[in-house]
Structure 1
Amino acid sequence: MNERVLTPRNRGFLFLDSHPEGCRRSVADMWRACPDPADAPQGPGPVALVIGSSAGYGLAATLAGLKRAGIRGIAVSFEKAPTERRTATAGWYRTAATADIARTAGRDLVFLNGDAFSDTMKDQVADLVERRFGGRLDHLVYSVAAPRRTDPDTGTTYASVLKPIGRAHLTKTLVFDDQGVPEVREVETGPAEPDDVEQTVAVMGGADWERWIDHLSDRGVLAEGFSTAALSYIGSPLTAAIYRQGTIGVAKAHLEATARTLDERLGKTVGGRAVTCVNGAAVTQSSTAIPGIALYTGLLRGVLGQDMLPPVRQLAALWDDLTGRSPLAPDDEDRIRLDTWELADDVQAAVADRWEAATTDTIGGLADLDWFHAEVRRLYGFSVPGVDYAAPVATDVPWPGQTP
């Protein structure tokens, strides 16, 4: 078994290796942070499909679904295996840890590794639902953030971009040097090219989510009362130009329009529901790539402290909605709002004041930098309490269900 001492090597917020034990413990910490339900799930549990289950909100949805709803079913992600020279991706190790939790909880959860955009994966999932889970799927949570998508019908590959629309945008952002010293910079992002919006919508809009529903419906595996939620984000006015009003924002609007279309159709065919679920801010591998989001999130934590809700607590509320423990109460655009704590007027006003005052010299007193920097490292299994990083660790952890 390949064992070695792992130290963090990174380029900005991107780390080259992941720590298996750190990833395992971070998943265990998320599991403990998810509130226990007042009434423990009984029986075999609903059959659920989580697409994008290995990171961020999707991982939180998987863990919260296990604890709050007692789900069984299928979790899909796309991760890289370990090699002789490199560790596996962090999501690979997090998936192995999630599988251990599901097994301990007595829940039959199958983990598939592959391209969720492909029809091959959709067929594999439908086959599993038919063969292993009685041919009926109760819930689908869609949480996919990807740089590219190949359309199965045309073979065309689309690439998503994070750009403002109409003109360049200048924003503050937060970076750390190799020693972890913070710096506040201004960065300019050029405007979207003519086809950038179309490309981003093709990747991050609702096309693939709808294709999943079409595929599973055609296979006849959607249960009566089936519900589906696509996870999304709106965010602050401080980041709107690059996010909600930019290329990704158009894709999110397309996702929400898709939800309304699916909701009407599912209501007629299986008495079902489709919604988008708007989550609050969090440090994720996707969010750290967006200019300004790192600074905003650090300032938000500086304002809220422990009142900043982690993703697993947010997604616990979604599962309560989907399973009927609490009433499903979307807003006027069929969105479940789990971000109200973040967008409260007093919170946003306090963050805006700190944003204006933020410089390299002042940022230490305005943002919770220790928390933010540790959160980024924890995405890859580093800076996790209780891990001996001086000890060798086995890196060739098998995918759940595979023989070591």
Structure 2
Amino acid sequence: MSEHVIAPKSRGFLFLDSHPEGCRQLVDEMWQAVPAPVAAGGEGPVALVIGSSAGYGLAATIAGLARVGIRGIGVCFEKAPARRTGTAGWYRTAATARLARQYGRDMVFLNGDAFSDTMKEQVADLLAERFGGRLDYLIYSVAAPRRTDPDTGRLHTSVLKPIGSPHTTKTLVFDEYGAPEVKEITAAPAEGDDIEQTVAVMGGTDWERWITFLADRSLLADGFTTAALSYIGSPLTAALYRQGTIGAAKSHLEATARRLDERLGTMLGGRAVTSVNAAAVTQSSTAVPGIALYVGLLRGILGDAMVAPIGQLVELWDQLTGARPLDLDDEGRIRLDTWELDPAVQHAVAERWSTATSDTITELADLDWFGDEVRRLYGFRVPGVDYTAAVETDVPWPAPTS
């Protein structure tokens, strides 16, 4: 047993510890936010969620379990409790597994490098031995700083840079006392093989490798469907995101989807799509300069009309399973971001962005909400949690039930 009172300590938007009870209650909240399950006879479909412990991947896992009744496998990469607490994803996974068991869902969680062929072998063996040797759905939601190519052993590192020329943008930071500051930063442009490296990590290469690996083992069911989660975002953040190195990776992901869609359609009557999700506060998004400011302003305009990741992923599962019609844009992408990119909303955000300064930001953006959302990523500021009480930090990784 290892009980501690855990106080939030951070470096910018990165917190050094996570709160197990807060993470558990956050997962409970997300599960309870899912509408009643879609009626289905017999066992639920078999699904694989790659990147199941955080952000949209976590939402995909919980929405799939609670809405569709999926069974299957979640893959993520989290750190166990040691000198510090476990990562928030470690505790969220334990909480998700507990709810899955409670509601009779057979969900196994594997902790390791999703880019490796070792993990692919482990998943393939589990699908064959435990889940009847047939996979119905694969959700790909991986945001990683680096990837080792299994064929060459080369380590690729992604970068967040504009392409062509330096780019200056506004960004939101908080000083040591928690006061908000709006600053300008200038990002140097990509050079050398920065674009190639970022595409190798964040593009569609590993997604396609998963599909090929499982297809070669004859593990894809007839009608198999796969979706990779993506983001386009606002023109305000485009130079550093969608038009930058990350955007090049997203374009590669979408090109991969088109290639996989043709292949799966011919082979299995299946399909592959990208799902363009909308803005949210996630551990990945807070690392992008300008995104914190943009999301805070967006919330200041829309309030509760913003659709949380769990709501977006319910919509995605409904479309993938046929509960609602598949709604694709001209590029063959599912668009869950139309409320964010509505021209009137973007015009309002742009107006606030242009006048945002350290003196005006509290009037223009919902910073209380933003601060709470950042802390909730690590299990803090969750209603109903007593943060003065000691809590057990040595939570074990969920063992698969028999």
Normalised to the residue count of structure 2, the TM-score between the two structures is: 0.98
Contact 1:41 1:68 in 2 (8 A): no
Find the aligned partners of 2:103 and 2:323 in 1 and give their Cα distance: 20
2:190 is aligned to 192
Identity of aligned residues (%): 74
CA contact (8 A) 2:208 2:256 kept: yes
User: Over the residues paired in the alignment, what is the CA RMSD in angstroms?
Assistant: 1.0
Aligned equivalents of 1:34, 1:299: Cα separation in 2: 26
CA distances 1:187-212 after superposition (whole Å, capped 9, x unpaired):
11111112100000000000000000
Cα distance, 1:396 vs structure 2: 0.4
- CA displacement at 1:401 relative to structure 2: 0.4
Residue 97 of structure 2 corresponds to which residue in structure 1?
Answer: 99
Q: Which amino acid aligns with 1:398?
A: P
Mapped pair 1:10 → 2:13? no
Q: How far has the Cα of 1:31 moved from its partner?
A: 1.1
- Per-residue CA deviations over 1:289-341 (Å, capped at 9, x if unaligned) read 00000000000000100000000000001101111111222212111000000
Say whether the 8 Å CA contact 1:42–1:70 is kept in structure 2: no
Q: Deviations over 1:153-187 (max 9, x none)?
A: 00000000100011111100001123321111111
* Residue number in structure 2 paired with 1:71: 70
8 Å contact 1:13–1:376 — kept in the other structure? Answer: yes
Which residue identity does 2:326 align to in structure 1? L
The letter of the residue matching 1:15 is F
Give 4+ residue runs of structure 1 displaced > 4 Å after superposition.
none
Deviation for aligned residue 1:34:
2.0
Matched, 1:153 2:151: yes
Q: Which residue does the alignment assign to 1:220?
A: 218
d(CA) in 2 for partners of 1:246 and 1:41? 43
Q: Which residue of 1 aligns with 2:88?
A: 90
Distance 1:9 1:225 in 2: 47
Which residue does the alignment assign to 2:266?
268
The secondary structure found in structure 2 opposite 1:347 is helix
Whole-Å separation in 1 of the counterparts to 2:294 and 2:85: 31
Q: Could you tell me which amino acid in structure 1 is paired with residue 134 of structure 2?
A: R
Matches within 5 A, 1:257-336: 257-336=255-334
- For residue 30 of structure 2, what is the aligned residue in structure 1? 30
Residue 41 of structure 1: how far off its partner (Å): 3.9
Q: Give the partner amino acid of 1:198.
A: E
- How big is the shift at 1:70? 0.5
Deviations 1:331-363 (Å, cap 9, x if unpaired)?
121110000000000000000000011001000
Counterpart of 1:131 (choices 129, 136, 145) is 129
State the one-letter code of the partner of 2:78.
E
User: What is the CA–CA distance in structure 1 between the aligned matches of 2:362 and 2:267, rounded to whole Å?
Assistant: 55
Q: Supply the distance in 2 between the matched residues of 1:153 and 1:268 (Cα, whole angstroms).
A: 27
TM-score (norm 1): 0.98
User: Structure 1, unaligned stretches of length 5 or more?
Assistant: none
**Is contact 1:64–1:319 with CA below 8 Å preserved after alignment?**
yes
CA distance in structure 2 between the aligned counterparts of 1:387 and 1:364, rounded to whole angstroms: 27
Aligned to 1:362: 360
The answer as to whether partners of 2:230 and 2:250 remain within 8 angstroms in 1 is yes
Q: 1:247 is matched with which residue?
A: 245
Is the contact between residue 35 and residue 313 of structure 1 (CA under 8 Å) also seen in structure 2? no
Note if contact 2:277-2:312 (Cα within 8 Å) is conserved in structure 1.
yes
* Counterparts of 2:245 and 2:175, CA distance in 1: 29
- Number of residue pairs matched? 401
